[in-house]
């Protein structure tokens, strides 16, 4: 099933919807709905932290998709993690 997201002024509006639902609502696929690809939430590797609990929607290579920000732990966060595993 294909997903699309409504776009105004190059910004996504609301959340993605299935193509079939959009066609049922509008009778056709309006030009301001653009393709969307759902990206699964990543599992952080050791010393990585997921920056947000919800993804942002960004257009990459002409396709809107979920973007999950991952970041490396700071030295202090690494030390805290290492210490918590020792107890």
pTM score above 0.75: yes
> Cβ distance 20 to 1 under 8 Å?
yes
Q: Tell me, what DSSP letter sits at residue 21?
A: H
The two tokens of residue 82 are 């290492």
Per-residue tens of pLDDT for the chain, all 87 residues:
899 999 999 999 999 999 999 999 999 999 999 999 999 999 999 899 998 889 999 999 999 999 999 999 999 989 888 888 776
Distance CA 58, CA 63 (A): 8
Residue of 39, 38, 13, 18 lying closest to 29 (CA atoms): 18
């Amino acid at each position: 099933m294909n997903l699309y997201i409504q776009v105004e002024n190059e910004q996504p509006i609301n959340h993605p919807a299935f193509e079939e639902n959009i066609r049922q609502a509008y009778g056709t696929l309006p030009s301001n709905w653009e393709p969307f690809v759902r990206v699964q939430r990543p599992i952080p590797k050791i010393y990585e932290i997921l920056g947000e609990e919800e993804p942002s929607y960004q257009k990459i290579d002409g396709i809107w998709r979920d973007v999950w920000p991952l970041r490396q732990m700071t030295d202090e966060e690494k030390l805290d993690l290492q210490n918590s595993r020792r107890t």
